[in-house]
Amino acid sequence: MKKNNAKAAAGVKEIARLAQVSIATVDRVIHNREGVSEKTKTKIQAIIDKLGYQPNVLAQRLALATRGTINLAVLLPVISPETEFWQAPRDGITKAESEIKQYGVNIHYFYFDQNDESTFEKQVKKIIRFKPQGILFTPTFPDPAVQLTEHSKKAGIPYVLINTDIPGYDAMCYIGPESFHSGYLAAQLVHYCTARDKKIVIAKIAREISTNYAILRKEEGFRAYFKDRKLENPLLTLDSKDTEYAGVSRKLAKLIKQEQNIGAIFVTNSRVSLVARYLEAAGRTDIILLGYDFTTDNVQHLKADNIDFLICEKPQEQGYRGIMTLFQHLVYSNVIEKNYLMPIDIITRENYLFYRN
């Protein structure tokens, strides 16, 4: 009981006394404001943890009521049959929105064409002019994405990246998969299911491949697995910037005609259903096929046994957690966790009925 009383009694003044700093300095650390050295911040945070200090939630809610609404900006690809994957993060965002709307939080959506960088750039400019209190987005195009993050840092606006991070960039917060290990896991599955003399195809199907960090890192992880284990399976590449079925099927037909003894195809994104459709039409049930994401077409092909494995990375949770991270930081002054990596789930025909994005 004494311990609990001590925790309850611990306040900003006591923390300041123990840390031998001013109350203002403690307040900056609690509310994650700039102007405190890392050494002092670490010292204060250690005392806060030891005392079990909790900010006054009631006072924060009253402060929220007096300062009015909080506007959050969300930047995502336009959702279409081709980009169905993005419906899951949007559903997660909507779920979070329904839970926090009562606290005066409004979410404003900005959409771009993921095949057209100029639409992303236009929305970045709109968001900068809009001046939101927080931003959640996926950095599909690295250069304008960095522009938005740099602006946010200068303006003191917290932001969260989901699904993919920016290569070589120290972002404030990333919520999503670890792409290299995701590709590494995919290679392990292929290794277990494929004879050592079989050829393996790595298929990248996207309008923009050279700047698509997520699929490039998955390929890197996939190749690393085979290299680390000194496996002799030949690894072939199929790149298609044409994302329509007709174009993908032509490339596949040409490759399979040229290369005998193909044992598996690894598709680095959600367009694995295009490959499944071709293999089904060609009657190639001898080729192991795996790819990403719990979309309608992919699940139908999984059920039909045209896809062997789907690798899924909780996109709905990414959207939900991203918004809640911003909310808890802005309202309750919670420190933003730098990286929150999603689990890498393996979905098969036997367990898909029980999976939740």
Q: Which structural domain, as residue segments, surrounds residue 195?
A: 179-312
The answer on 245 and 278 residing in a single domain is yes
The answer on 334 and 300 residing in a single domain is no
For residues 140-163, one letter each, b for 16 or more C-beta atoms within 10 angstroms of the residue's C-beta and e for the rest, the string is bbbebbeebbebbeeeebbbbbbb
- Do 145 and 139 meet the contact criterion of CB atoms below 8 Å apart? yes
Q: Cβ–Cβ contacts within 10 Å for residue 9, how many?
A: 10
Chain Cα centroid distance, residue 166: 11
The answer on 213 and 153 residing in a single domain is no
The answer on 207 and 271 residing in a single domain is yes
The answer on 273 and 187 residing in a single domain is yes
The answer on 307 and 189 residing in a single domain is yes
The enclosing domain of 26 has a CATH number of 1.10.260.40
The answer on 193 and 74 residing in a single domain is no
Residue 350 lies in a domain: no
Residue 297 lies in a domain: yes
Q: Cβ–Cβ contacts within 10 Å for residue 267, how many?
A: 29
pTM over cut 0.75: yes
Return d(Cα 238, Cα 249) in angstroms, integer.
Answer: 11
Residue 329 lies in a domain: yes
Residue 103 lies in a domain: yes
The answer on 302 and 243 residing in a single domain is yes
The enclosing domain of 158 has a CATH number of 3.40.50.2300
How many domains, the chain?
3
Q: How many residues does the chain have?
A: 357
Residue 357 lies in a domain: no
Per-residue pLDDT of the chain in tens (357 residues, 90 and over written 9): 344 433 433 577 788 888 898 877 887 787 666 778 888 988 988 888 888 776 665 455 545 555 568 999 999 999 988 889 999 999 999 999 999 888 889 999 999 998 899 999 999 999 999 999 999 999 999 999 999 999 999 999 999 999 999 988 999 999 999 999 999 999 999 999 999 999 999 999 999 898 899 999 999 999 999 999 999 999 999 999 999 999 999 999 999 999 989 999 999 999 999 999 999 999 999 999 999 999 999 999 999 999 999 999 999 999 999 999 999 899 878 889 999 999 999 999 999 999 998
